[in-house]
Amino acid sequence: MEPAKEEESSVQDEAVDKSNFKNCNHIAFYRRQKLLLPGKSLYQALLDSVTLCNDSVKLQIINEKNKVPLLVEIYAIDGNIFRLKINEVSPLKSRYEVPDVLIKEPTTQRLSIAQKEAGILVLTCANEDCKIHITANPFQIELESKGETVLSVNTNGLLYFEHLQPPPQNSKTTAQKKEDASIDSSQENQEDLGLWQEEFGSFLDIKANGPSSIGLDFSLHGCEHVYGIPEHAETLLLKNTSDDDAYRLFNLDVYGHKIHDKMGIYGSVPFLLAHKPNRTSGIFWLNSSETLVEINTKAVMEHVPSRSPPDITKQRVVPQTDVRWMSESGIIDVFLLMGPTPFDIFKQYAQLTGTQALPPLFSLGYHQCRWNYEDEQDVKTVDTAFDEHDIPYDVIWLDIEHTEGKRYFTWDKKKFQHPKRMQELLKRKKRKLVVIIDPHIKVDPMYALYSQAKKKGYFVKNRKGQDFEGICWPGSSSYLDFTNPEVREWYADQFAFKSYKGSTDILFVWNDMNEPSVFKGAELTMQRDAVHHGNWEHREVHNLYGFYQQMVTAEGLIKRSGGQKRPFVLTRSFFAGSQKYGAVWTGDNVAEWSYLKISIPMLLTISIAGISFCGADVGGFIGDPEPELLVRWYQAGAYQPFFRGHANIESKRREPWLFGDENTQIIREAIRERYTLLPYLYSLFYRAHTTAEPVMRPLWVEFPKEQETFGVEDEYMLGNALLVHPVIEQEATTVNVLLPGSDEVWYDFRRFRRLDYPGTLKIPVTLESIPVFQRGGSVVPLKTTVGRSTEWMTDISYELRVALDSKDFAVGELYLDDGHSFQYLHKKQFLHRKFTFHKNVFSSSCADEIGQYHTKCVVERVLILGVQKQPTSVTVSLQDKRDGKDKEVVFTYDAKTSMLTLEKLLLNVGADWEIHIK
């Protein structure tokens, strides 16, 4: 089986041109929905049809033109969430409902009918202070919480539902097609409505089920700041859209994607957050077909609940944001999250889709990647060079060239003759290997994976029922149908050590090209009329494809370890819920300053949509970064959740030591800083895992009442303690940093200086500077030094960085476990510690009694920032005092920075103790 070089493909000549991709007006369902203008809805609720069930209220609505009835189901879900489902009462065949994304069937509360008269239905739910007002004609819903209307549904009358119809007799007659359309034919002009087929360039999409698009509008009252719906190379704050410029959610392989563009790129999370000072709310549109989102913020007269007549004298002008969702197919299944705080929203969303998987500790270290490390010798040389340059790193990556002709799960026989030996070497160095595994499978009967999958019928089919074939890296390829549970089971088994020859337990996985990317396909992806398991067309599941690949890869890695070890899987394509399976990155960015800049809002948006473990290629994938840009990118990446340097096959080598001593030194410092920060970062991931708090968060999340934070996207919070403002301008000598909160105290994280006046400060920077600030009132756990990789650092002692607030108080925490297994879950083997500074006593106590974990590791140093005067004595007492005496502590006080340093403490990190400062 020789690699068939001449057949292989390259992305450079296939995927750069934006004309390869649709804009909104190319999309037939968008054009059709746009024929429905805002105004009075065509739908009326039939209040006689209302039925109160244990878990929901059901009623029918009817379209006054086509008379097709729809079934509306309203659910009140525990934790201040509402769900609205709309489907046909009796569809011609079932419509697709997204499986596998909700972690369980949500627990509902019983609704009661509080009023049903004069065309109004009012529902109340048991526990929450919420009401649902349904108006019959036109059909509208308002959600009210504590007397405030939070959001309303179908206010602009844009509820749109194309019911399934039998194919017209002669599907080629335009007149016939138009007769069958469910929209007002008087509004039609001669344009093609793409009902049964749709063209794009030379591509024809044949729609077996005809038109099946759905849409609905929502009004968010009092809101002018909306966020979320990744993935776009766009600002953090969502912009108002204009015609033909909606945010597109459609997973696509867009090499060197344009910046400030609403086109769909690799991943989609149909979750939008709205924020105003007293409330955050959310809309989760559970649909995996192509989706477009229009946003329109405007000033309106304050909304008064529909039943009470407005008192005009008291009405104010307030902002309102209208959001219109449109999807190609499926049903309307939408979750309305009522907050009210940003953290409530994160919890509510996680209650539906799950929390971030707890990453193995190594994966929070630095990752060294390029397309490609050439061979085993190259890997060895790069690995050794990290040690020679005293730069820590945890993982080296192998891109597609490591395989035999892009046949995944194999090794190039010449370049990687002894993959096990190579991994053993890395293992001895306490490091890991990540290899790429894409979803396309080379069409080659001699390739076992292909022939098995072919025989078992595991590939996605074309509309004629044959295996779908498209071009990707290996040339002609078929695509595994991960939507099929049987395929997933089989695929997970491919990661077993006995199946995946040459793999060992330090090998982890990178899923790329899983939008899926199909080089010669329409928009470089799979045809929508391809057919998946259960006879569902690809259009229904498109945005889920990568989600499933990452899911099954993670399952495979867990399985190969007998359920013992946490997996690490990086995916390019993602959907709502992908956080459960690992990390994502932002794909093929460019080595330019603008891409470094946009990476911050992109990562923030992904983070608040539930996926905390995210990063952008450090250095920029395409092209060659100038040294200054590379340095700045390392500094930014060191303070972002997933930290990987990566470069294109055509880019020059750019390992950290190739840019002269001075730059090597600065990059070394940035990476080392990352490693000292790991206890804090790991603790943040534990929080993301257990309580759904994003690791990297926009300022407004921490300062929800401070309006000036709402649009900030050049800085962010890492947890609640650190404010990071990466330098993203070339030759910067200063940066303007907003330190929010009028009562807050901030400290320079490295120089310890207290910054007394919050507001926007001009901070001088040199090439060495990473502007990071610690918030008064926090405790940040750090390591006192670094090792060659995370595994070398287990026993390294801790430093606790205590930053006092204006009341001389501070609190923080540390989470600790073995860093790699599931014992923290199954055997409760972990430590969760709480550190409190209060009334001049700094104490360590247990934050979670359930966890037990033995460690010899100690807290060696405590730095307390903001201590007003020099103490006369500092003593420590152990709660478990055997000798009964308090011990004196060695301390120094720096009056200039008001910093108290306590050293040589040797306090076990798992023990309870108190430090008294007098």
Which residues participate in catalysis according to the annotation? 512, 515, 588
Comparing CB distances to ligand NOJ, the nearer of 20 and 213 is 20
**Closest separation between CB of residue 513 and ligand NOJ, Å?**
6
Contact 263, 208 (CB under 8 A): no
**Closest separation between CB of residue 92 and ligand NOJ, Å?**
40
Distance CA 627, CA 654 (A): 9
Comparing CB distances to ligand NOJ, the nearer of 540 and 588 is 588
Residue 316's alpha-carbon distances to 51, 195, 218, 304, 312, in angstroms, are 38, 44, 21, 10, 9
Q: Read off the DSSP letter of residue 468.
A: P
**Closest separation between CB of residue 5 and ligand NOJ, Å?**
16
**Closest separation between CB of residue 572 and ligand NOJ, Å?**
6
Contact 619, 625 (CB under 8 A): yes
Contact 634, 669 (CB under 8 A): no
User: What phi and psi values does residue 917 have, to the nearest 5 degrees?
Assistant: -115, 125
Task: Point out the residue whose Cβ comes nearest to ligand NOJ.
Answer: 371
Structure tokens at 17: 């041109």
Residue 365's alpha-carbon distances to 637, 720, 850, 899, in angstroms, are 11, 21, 28, 29
**Closest separation between CB of residue 429 and ligand NOJ, Å?**
24
Comparing CB distances to ligand NOJ, the nearer of 423 and 517 is 517
Distance CA 594, CA 729 (A): 9
For 98, the 3-state DSSP assignment is: coil
Structure tokens at 486: 């049987």
Comparing CB distances to ligand NOJ, the nearer of 621 and 747 is 621
Where along the sequence are the contacts to ligand NOJ (CB under 6 A)?
A: 371, 399-400, 436, 512, 572, 587-588, 621, 646
Distance CA 338, CA 658 (A): 51
Cα angle, residue 519 at apex, residues 231 and 293 outer, rounded to 5° = 25
Q: Read off the DSSP letter of residue 166.
A: P
Cα angle, residue 102 at apex, residues 101 and 104 outer, rounded to 5° = 135
For 423, the 3-state DSSP assignment is: helix
Q: Residues 384, 388, 394, 395: what is their CA dihedral angle, to the nearest 10 degrees?
A: -40
Task: Give the H/E segment covering residue 860.
Answer: strand 858-865
Structure tokens at 665: 């030194």
Residue 124's alpha-carbon distances to 109, 306, 334, in angstroms, are 10, 16, 19
Helix axes 419-428, 376-388, angle to 10 degrees: 10
Strands 696-697 and 716-718: antiparallel
Distance CA 800, CA 781 (A): 5
Nearest to residue 251, comparing CAs of 288, 293, 294, 213?
288
Structure tokens at 833: 């510690």
Comparing CB distances to ligand NOJ, the nearer of 372 and 483 is 372
Structure tokens at 47: 């209040």
Strands 569-571 and 507-511: parallel
User: Concatenated DSSP letters for 786-847?
Assistant: --SSGGGGTTPPEEEEEE--TTS-EEEEEEE--SSBSHHHHT---EEEEEEEETTEEEEEES
Comparing CB distances to ligand NOJ, the nearer of 142 and 588 is 588
Comparing CB distances to ligand NOJ, the nearer of 587 and 698 is 587
Comparing CB distances to ligand NOJ, the nearer of 9 and 197 is 9
Q: Facing residues of 322 across strands?
A: 219, 296
Which residues touch 77 (CB under 8 Å, ≥6 apart)? 83, 106, 107, 108, 109, 335, 351
**Closest separation between CB of residue 902 and ligand NOJ, Å?**
46
At which residue do the structure tokens 């919480």 appear? 145
**Closest separation between CB of residue 367 and ligand NOJ, Å?**
12
Structure tokens at 413: 């026989």
**Closest separation between CB of residue 4 and ligand NOJ, Å?**
17
Structure tokens at 849: 């009694």
Strands 507-511 and 432-436: parallel
Comparing CB distances to ligand NOJ, the nearer of 263 and 436 is 436
Q: Residues 297, 300, 305, 308: what is their CA dihedral angle, to the nearest 10 degrees?
A: -170
Comparing CB distances to ligand NOJ, the nearer of 472 and 909 is 472
**Closest separation between CB of residue 412 and ligand NOJ, Å?**
14
Nearest to residue 499, comparing CAs of 557, 552, 545, 443?
557
**Closest separation between CB of residue 436 and ligand NOJ, Å?**
6
Contact 324, 293 (CB under 8 A): yes
Comparing CB distances to ligand NOJ, the nearer of 436 and 770 is 436
**Closest separation between CB of residue 272 and ligand NOJ, Å?**
26
For 628, the 3-state DSSP assignment is: helix
Comparing CB distances to ligand NOJ, the nearer of 216 and 513 is 513
Comparing CB distances to ligand NOJ, the nearer of 539 and 644 is 644
